[in-house]
Amino acid sequence: MYKLALRWWLLLFLAVSLQGHAEDGAIASLRETGKAFARVARDVSPSVVFIQIDKGASASSGGATVPFGEQWPFGDELFKHFFGDRFSAPQQQQPHGERHIVGQGSGFVFASKDGLLSDRTYILTNNHVVEDADSIRVKLQDGREFDATVKGRDPQSDVAVIEIKTGGLPALPLADSSKLEVGEWVVAIGNPFGLSNTLTVGVVSATGRTGIGINDYEDFIQTDAAINPGNSGGPLVNLDGDVVGMNTAIFSRSGGYMGVGFAIPINLARAIANQLIATGGVTRGYLGVTIQQLTPDLAESFGIEQVKGVLVAKVNDDSPAGRAGLHQGDVIVSYDGKPVTDVGSFRNAVALTAPGSHRELGILRKGERQALDVTIGRLAGKPTLAQGSAQGVDETGLTVRTITPKLAGELGATAGEGVVVTAVRSGSMAERAGIDPGTVILRVNRKDMHSAAEFAAALDESRADRRVLMLVRKGDMQRYVALRW
């Protein structure tokens, strides 16, 4: 009995001791994590700069005074970029009929592909931070200040490079953002609300965010590290202090931080910045297609088992894609040997390809895999984004008419080429698919349409399968739509 009691006491003592060791280990682990964040702050902060821009404005635009005579800390344009046009930052009234809009942001020292220079330093930031600035002032962590000039801007990606006349500043090392994984720790450093060298910590919430509508070219890293006005242009770094992205915007319904921030991946920012430094502008690759995301319904309509890739809705005349043999209805599944998963990433990959380069397109055509060699062209101007007697049809909710010569003139279409939608029933599958009056339906189940009667007949043929595939056009946008009932 005595031995049994002694054994129980020993087990209890061991359990308490082990619990104490476990708690000590957990605290030690947290302490090490805190030291890792502190190390990142020490290593990265000397390369992060505070950017202040000044814009002159006429007195006719008005201006409100700010309590205590202080200006709004980050400027109206930057405020609107984050929170929308319904919010407006007050501006301090300046004497002599002239006022100045002061905006603030962040940036970081960037080493171009040619390395650091002894007589100047390049700083990477957002285009919206320095756009339309009359003057730009850069302040370093050590208190030194410099006037800056714009080396190059690219509004479509929201990337800009500014230059200051000094050398020897430490450039931040750049990571390979394509290897970034959801759940990794990241640190945002910048100057939110003018509070210099502010560090916030979070994780990577998602990668490859496209279609948000902030920039023309998007491939955002989403993070819950706190990003606020003034953080724009600052670095998002990993625990090694290597830059993985450039903080750009937040999503907010309240006008404040809500845990959803977006950063441009550094691979994209670096490619744009190197072009801006070399030439002052950006040259983008051009394929000459209108594409859309392949959905399960579209894949089934085209007899494709996998739901991966992008669907070609249109091939432009005399385009690189047309010369390579790409057809409407093809599904692009790979580009330069890498899988194509969505419209945004494919569009970015083509845009970043040097004109004149040869690339292999992996496609599916009528279920068969093929490879096409395409010579990438040069994109000219701003690209157009790709996404698309009366006869009523109950299943789809559409009412269509034959395109007469008179209608053709009004629509900018060709008489007898397709049918025009004149009405869409509220709540119908056609309305949910984004079809509205004025849309031209060019093909049904891959057959050209010439009249409302042909359209009705094609729908009759689809009733057994209870689905229909249509090629539609509205303005310059052309896309496929698959409807089920």
Within 229-342, residue ranges assigned H as helices are 266-279, 296-301, 320-324
CATH number of 285-378: 2.30.42.10
In the chain, which segments carry CATH 2.30.42.10?
A: 285-378, 391-484
SS3 13: helix
d(CA 361, CA 377): 14
The class level of CATH for 391-484 reads mainly beta
46-63+70-164 topology per CATH:
Thrombin, subunit H (2.40.10)
The answer to whether 47 and 72 are in contact (CB under 8 A) is no
Task: Compute CA 8 distance to the chain's CA centroid, rounded to the nearest angstrom.
Answer: 62
- Active-site pick, 47, 106, 157, 158: 158
pLDDT (mean) for 351-374: 90
d(CA 245, CA 206): 13
- Active-site pick, 232, 301, 428, 462: 232
Higher pLDDT, 259 or 351: 351
- Active-site pick, 81, 106, 112, 128: 128
d(CA 407, CA 302): 31
Predicted confidence at residue 73, as pLDDT, reads 40
pLDDT (mean) for 131-135: 84
Average pLDDT, the chain: 78
Residue 128 appears among annotated catalytic residues: yes
pLDDT (mean) for 62-80: 37
d(CA 377, CA 354): 8
* pTM exceeds 0.85 for this model: no
pLDDT digits (tens, 9 = 90+) for 107-129: 999 988 777 777 889 999 999 89
Residue 460 appears among annotated catalytic residues: no
pLDDT digits (tens, 9 = 90+) for 265-323: 999 999 999 989 888 888 889 898 888 888 888 888 777 777 788 889 889 888 999 99
In the chain, which segments carry CATH 2.40.10.10?
A: 46-63+70-164
d(CA 183, CA 174): 19
Residue 476 appears among annotated catalytic residues: no
